[in-house]
Amino acid sequence: MASVSLHNVIKRYGAGKSAVQVLHGVSADIDDHEFIVIVGPSGCGKSTLLRMVAGLEEVTEGQIAIGGKVVNELEPSERDIAMVFQNYALYPHMSVFDNMAYGLKIAKVPKEEIRTRVDKAANILELSALLERKPRALSGGQRQRVAMGRAIVRQPQVFLFDEPLSNLDAKLRVQTRLEIQKLHRELGITSLFVTHDQVEAMTLAQRMMVMNAGRMEQFGTPEEVYNRPATTFVASFMGSPPMNLLRLAPNADFGGQPGAIMGIRPEHLHVSSSSSDNGSRGWPVQVDSIEMLGAERLLYCRLGAEFVIVRTDESLSSAPEIGATIYLTPRADRMHWFDAGTGMRL
């Protein structure tokens, strides 16, 4: 187990004027035993960054260190890492046991130790009853657990996960997330987990890197990222539904600032049917549509040219009708302000 350090990591494809830069100086220090999630939309560079840590992509500029040792020039096999891919990459003609043991056999690990390591990993992942099966006889979730088991038996310093849950259905994704959390608690191996799913990021991460267009926009705990987003991109990407970002004229009632964008999360808007409710003047908005989500409702409203999403719970005594006018008052202690030009937090 080891720390991972990224220092001004840059990636370009091609050379000269035709070169395309896809990573723009990413720096981060990841502590030993940490579970880090790299999250962002498709094409933001998150998988490229992970593959550079693994040694599957060359570093154009900057340094990557594992356990205090710079690994830029080391082959993947020399970095003491194990990677779990999105597509499982299991050998179809081999049993579960042989898939998990294959890397150890190639490394000429003694048979007794191979059996011990595979049995231990199978027990952790609840695969003991499936060791003689072939991959075709397994569900998607079981195949992903075999892929994780193959990584566990390597006993690496660092785990690298490249969107390992993308091929699973919604129920299995939740179940496998829980298994990964349990796995990290038991093994404590430093882990980097790539995903485009902000829910996965929020539930799995001890700290997360939020990536956008090849840049790391914020690095912090889920609570820090959610409660104090560093940019408008982070504010809109992290959270479901996303934060409302409104270009409003300065208004003393709401703490308005010139040249700024106001952010407010859907759950931090108070709904009333009257502008005089609670003695305050609210925003008059028109309800465009309503989503019923069991214990809560999402109200999609129009405020002039802006759209506003409101989250309310089922205790709302009378749900507004579509087309009705309601009044919204933001919680003063939950308002966020961003520079309209740069998108940075003020």
pLDDT digit string (tens) for 190-223? 999 999 999 999 999 999 999 999 999 999 999 9
Distance CA 81, CA 74 (A): 12
Specify if 345 maps to a domain.
no
**Sequence-separated (6 or more) residues with CB below 8 Å from residue 129:** none
Residue 199: half-sphere exposure toward Cβ, Cα within 13 Å? 9
- Which residues, in sequence order, are bridge partners of residue 337? 262
Region 19-26 average pLDDT: 96
pLDDT exceeds cutoff 80 at 343: yes
pLDDT exceeds cutoff 80 at 276: no
Specify if 197 maps to a domain.
yes
- Clarify whether residues 170 and 252 are in a common domain: no
- Confidence label for 279 from pLDDT (cuts 50, 70 and 90): very low
**Cα–Cα separations (whole angstroms), residue 146 to 51, 132, 190, 339:** 21, 12, 20, 47
Region 122-147 average pLDDT: 91
Specify if 346 maps to a domain.
no
Region 329-338 average pLDDT: 93
CATH for 329: 2.40.50.140
CA-wise closest residue to 34 among 65, 3, 71, 69: 3
Q: Are residues 60 and 11 in contact, defined by beta-carbon separation less than 8 angstroms?
A: yes
**pLDDT number for residue 255:** 53
End-to-end CA distance of the chain: 38
**pLDDT number for residue 318:** 66
Instruction: Pick the more confident residue, 190 or 141.
Output: 190
Share of the chain above pLDDT 70, in %: 93
Instruction: Pick the more confident residue, 165 or 309.
Output: 309
Low-confidence winner among 54-63, 200-209, 224-233, 268-277 (lowest mean pLDDT) = 268-277
- Confidence label for 252 from pLDDT (cuts 50, 70 and 90): very low
CATH for 113: 3.40.50.300
- Residue 129 corresponds to which tokens in the numbers above? 């009853």
Question: Residues 77-107: pLDDT tens digits?
Answer: 899 999 988 887 899 999 999 999 998 999 8
**Sequence-separated (6 or more) residues with CB below 8 Å from residue 202:** 208, 222, 226, 238
Q: Which domain holds residue 41?
A: 4-231
Q: Are residues 157 and 81 in contact, defined by beta-carbon separation less than 8 angstroms?
A: yes
Instruction: Pick the more confident residue, 127 or 313.
Output: 127
Specify if 278 maps to a domain.
yes
- State which H helix or E strand residue 191 sits in: strand 190-195
- Clarify whether residues 116 and 89 are in a common domain: yes
SS3 at position 223: helix
- Clarify whether residues 216 and 86 are in a common domain: yes
pLDDT exceeds cutoff 80 at 315: no
Mean pLDDT score of the chain, rounded to an integer? 90
CA-wise closest residue to 269 among 258, 283, 288, 290: 283
- Clarify whether residues 115 and 221 are in a common domain: yes
Find the DSSP H helices in the chain: 46-54, 96-106, 111-124, 140-152, 170-187, 198-204, 222-227, 232-237
Q: Which residue has the tokens 């409101």?
A: 310
pLDDT exceeds cutoff 60 at 324: yes
Q: Which residue has the tokens 């939950």?
A: 334
pLDDT exceeds cutoff 60 at 133: yes
Specify if 202 maps to a domain.
yes
Range from 56-70, 160-174, 237-251, 286-300 that averages highest in pLDDT: 56-70
- Clarify whether residues 95 and 120 are in a common domain: yes
- Residue 337 corresponds to which tokens in the numbers above? 């302000």
pLDDT exceeds cutoff 60 at 250: no
Region 256-277 average pLDDT: 80
- Clarify whether residues 225 and 280 are in a common domain: no
Using alpha carbons only, give the angle 76, 81, 82 rounded to the nearest 5 degrees.
100
- Clarify whether residues 331 and 183 are in a common domain: no
Over the Cα atoms of the chain, what is R_g?
Answer: 24
- Clarify whether residues 70 and 98 are in a common domain: yes
Fill in the amino acid letter for 312: T
- State which H helix or E strand residue 301 sits in: strand 296-303
Q: Are residues 170 and 200 in contact, defined by beta-carbon separation less than 8 angstroms?
A: no
